[in-house]
Amino acid sequence: MPDRINRKIVLASRPEGAPQSSNFRLEESPAPQPREGEVLLRTLWLSLDPYMRGRMSAARSYAKPVEVGEPMVGGTVNEVADSRHPGFKPGDIVLGYCGWQDYAVSNGAGLRKLDPSRAPVSTALGVLGMPGMTAYVGLLTIGQPKPGETVAVAAATGPVGSMVGQIAKLKGSRAVGIAGGSDKCRYLIDELGFDAAIDHRSANFAEELRKACPSGIDVYFENVGGAVWDAVFPLLNDFARVPVCGLIAQYNMTELPAGPDRTPQLFRQVLSKRLTIRGFIVWDFADQAEAFERDVSTWLRQGKIKYKEDVVEGLENAPQAFLGLLQGKNFGKLLVRVSKS
């Protein structure tokens, strides 16, 4: 067997503000060898997601940061290249968390076998994976949309936001998407069936959002923060629910924004409007994984849910693609095809 070379993208330094290409470094070394009870995994697909920005920082968070010099973390779809584990054989396709590298060794814990005949294996990182489940549990458990209500979602063409809007429609709600650019807004209406789509880059964004939500907003699925939240906040109805999934507009901040402290205003509205604002991490609702897979798989088969993938070729291009993700340049679920099966 020829020697396998493992390319990996490591965290070269911690960013100050927005990440730069210099914060990443491509390294090569011999691929690891599996011991008894282990498997060698070859990465086919790598998921790029906004949460990875937080892992680059040493600040306290809900998960351990990536150490400088270590590979960047990330969900992956892998092929078993070599196995000394009784539960896996070479050629098996699995869902793992091997990060930004060609090869990794695993003892099998946390791996889930995928059936390529059931769905494209890349969907395990998107519509049938963590982003899809994030939308499902956040909207249905915290947002609890009701028929006739208005559900607004930011980053609406991303893998989470696009699912939020489509599930809201399935539950009988109006879906209002917020996205960056006219192409994305057209896609939300023409392809995904949103009732309205607003370009947050518009000079009249706040007014356009108000007109798209004449009865106010009952559920706002927060992925962005920043100026989008400023426009949404006055439109929240009494008893509105706000699942807080992400704050991508704020991830690169190094200091508090300029201006007066608006915390008193926020809490006054939380009280007077009886708002529910709840942050969550998808694995808070791990007990809903079976229901998620059942429901979304059914909706996909029935053509009630659509998805879009934005595919980048080659592990070496992962850093630049990730930087683009933080700037909203992706259109759909951002994936890196690391190698072909």
Using pLDDT thresholds of 50, 70 and 90, give the confidence band for residue 253.
Answer: low
Using pLDDT thresholds of 50, 70 and 90, give the confidence band for residue 256.
Answer: confident
Average pLDDT of the chain is 94
Tell me which residue of 330, 327, 285, 315 sits closest to 7, measured CA to CA: 315
Q: What is the mean pLDDT of residues 54-70?
A: 89
- 3-state SS of the chain? CCCCEEEEEEECCCCCCCCCHHHEEEEEEECCCCCCCCEEEEEEEEECCCHHHHHCCCCCCCCCCCCCCCECCCCEEEEEEEECCCCCCCCCEEEECCCCECEEEECCCCCEECCCCCCCHHHHHCCCCHHHHHHHHHHHHHHCCCCCCEEEECCCCCHHHHHHHHHHHHCCCEEEEEECCHHHHHHHHHCCCCCEEEECCCCCHHHHHHHHCCCCEEEEEECCCHHHHHHHHHHEEEEEEEEECCCHHHCCCCCCCCCCCCHHHHHHHHHHCCCEEEECCHHHHHHHHHHHHHHHHHHHHCCCCCCCEEEEECHHHHHHHHHHHHCCCCCCEEEEECCCC
Tell me which residue of 99, 110, 107 sits closest to 66, measured CA to CA: 99
Using pLDDT thresholds of 50, 70 and 90, give the confidence band for residue 289.
Answer: very high
Using pLDDT thresholds of 50, 70 and 90, give the confidence band for residue 92.
Answer: very high
Assigned token pair, 104:
């990794």
Assigned token pair, 130:
């963590």
User: For 179-228, how does the pLDDT look when each residue is reduced to its tens digit (9 = 90+)?
Assistant: 999 999 999 999 999 999 999 999 999 999 999 999 999 999 999 888 99
| pLDDT score at 224 | 86
pLDDT more than 90, % of the chain: 86
Return all residues near 67 (Cβ < 8 A) that are at least 6 apart: 11
Q: Which of 18-22, 222-226, 334-338 has the lowest mean pLDDT?
A: 222-226
**Is the pLDDT confidence value at 1 over 60?**
no
- pTM attached to this predicted model: 0.91
**Is the pLDDT confidence value at 49 over 90?**
yes
Residue 51 half-sphere exposure, CB side, CA atoms within 13 Å?
A: 17
Query: What are the CA-CA distances from residue 194 to residues 204, 261, 298 (Å)?
Result: 20, 35, 20
Q: What is the mean pLDDT of residues 100-114?
A: 97
Q: Using the CB atoms, write b or e for 202-240: b if 16+ within 10 Å.
A: eeebbebbbebbeebbbbbbbbbbeebbebbbebbbeeb
Q: What is the mean pLDDT of residues 276-283?
A: 95
